[in-house]
Chains A and B, each alone.
Chain A
Amino acid sequence: MESSLAALGYENVYRVRVGKYLELHLETENQEEAAAQVEEMSRRLLSNPVIEDFSYSLQETV
């Protein structure tokens, strides 16, 4: 991708990386519960801890 961008003339681009972005909605009592669940499901399924890192942020919706 970096070389393709350079070929298009964007030669000042570096450290290109591709990742996955997922959005989930959870029904929980509080943020701590949501965080614990997201942590667990990220470890078990959403990421492969052998080769991938993950981070998340929580946002309250109605």
Chain B
Amino acid sequence: MKFGVIVFPGSNCDLDAFYLVRDILRQPVVYIRHDLDDLDDLADCDALILPGGFSYGDYLRSGAIACFSRIMSSAAEFAAGGGLVLGICNGFQVLTEAGLLPGALYRNDNLQFRCQQIYVRVENRRPPLPTRLPWALFSRSQSPTATATITLLRKFYSRWRKSGSSSFATLTNMVG
């Protein structure tokens, strides 16, 4: 399974994602620059990863500028054609801003930093990720741990290998 890690200006977990795919999953992986708009660059990838970080300095809103970068229209086509797209942290925010995932993310009601385990529900009928616990228990943090990311990628990969089905992973928490 070949992965492409999209790199925006301000992405800072791109190296982590690349390392996880190459050294932990032992799968082929390439970096894909944000300013490419050639679908051929994505064509030989099975999955795209939008890594965490602070794309475009989080100006305006997190992910708001990145979703208009040239690569994102290709990524949307890639997804529409059945490609897997995984957004982690800021990458997830980019997907919501781009309208590829429903909803939006906003700040906590208060200014407290929250880092805790929460239950999430997988909404897709045929998600590329396992729908049963314990997968659904993962760490919600403003800076997701490498462990959580490794788990996510492993599940992502093993599910893909078994089913070959493709779609977006749409995650919401229990309160919606």
Residues of A within 8 A of B (CB): 45-46, 48, 50-51
- The A interface, classified by DSSP as helix, strand, loop or mixed, is loop
In the bound complex, residues from chain B placing their C-beta under 8 Å from that of A45 are 60, 64, 68
> How many angstroms between the C-alpha atoms of A48 and B94 in the bound complex?
12
Could you tell me which B residues sit within 8 Å of A by CB distance?
A: 60-61, 64, 68, 96-97, 103-104, 106
> Are A51 and B106 touching (Cβ within 8 A)?
yes
Cα–Cα, bound, A48→B101 (Å): 14
Bound Cα distance from A32 to B103, whole angstroms: 32
Residues of A within 8 A of B104 (CB): 48, 50-51
Task: Check if B64 sits within 8 Å of A48, measured CB to CB.
Answer: yes
- Give the distance to chain A from B57, nearest Cβ to Cβ, in Å: 15
| B61 touching A48, Cβ below 8 Å | yes
CA distance A45 to B56 in the complex (A): 14
B64: chain A residues at CB < 8 Å are: 45, 48
Q: Which 8 A-B residue pairs are closest in the complex by CB-CB distance? A: A50-B104, A51-B104, A51-B106, A48-B104, A48-B61, A50-B103, A45-B64, A48-B97
With both beta carbons as reference points, the residue of chain A lying nearest to B99 in the complex is identified as A50
- CA of A45 to CA of B104, assembled, Å: 14
B103 close to A46 (CB less than 8 A): no
Task: Supply 13 A–B pairs (Cβ within 8 Å), ascending by A.
Answer: A45-B60, A45-B64, A45-B68, A46-B60, A48-B61, A48-B64, A48-B97, A48-B104, A50-B96, A50-B103, A50-B104, A51-B104, A51-B106
- Residues of B within 8 Å of A51, CB to CB, are 104, 106
Query: B170: shortest Cβ distance to chain A, in Å?
Result: 14
